[in-house]
Amino acid sequence: MKYFRYKIVDKNKIYYGQERSDFIGVFGTKYHMSSVLLKLDSFDIEYVIKDIVLKEYEFIFRYSNDKTVIAKITPLVKINVSKGLIYFLSDNNNNDDIVVFDTKGVQLTFLVLKNNL
């Protein structure tokens, strides 16, 4: 996204007809047309991402879309808001206890976040 802008809105809470209390926003890339961002729960914060160091304007969320709903998973993603990039979990992780994101980000086509991150 050449002219990426960080938009904050408080809408789009309904996903597949259900209001989600963990809804935080939506994003899209050329590979993921539209995905829903979800808040991390206390287990994620205390155990899953506790050792991850984030740069300024980077956030970690879980996400959901048509494919993840079918598989009944909600993977982690890291978003760098200032650069308009999203980083998915790496396939080359040899240790299942440590979260590793891809080093190359994917350009976001859009990002809409709630106003209370």
List, as one string, the DSSP characters of 31-49: S-S-EEEE---HHIIIIIS
Question: Exposed (0-12), middle (13-18) or buried (19+): which is 94, by Cβ within 10 Å?
Answer: exposed
The pTM score is 0.80
Extents of the domains making up the chain: 7-113
Q: Would you give per-residue pLDDT tens digits along the chain (117 residues)?
A: 444 444 434 444 554 555 667 888 889 898 877 888 999 999 999 988 988 999 999 999 999 888 888 888 999 999 999 999 999 999 877 666 788 899 999 999 999 887 765
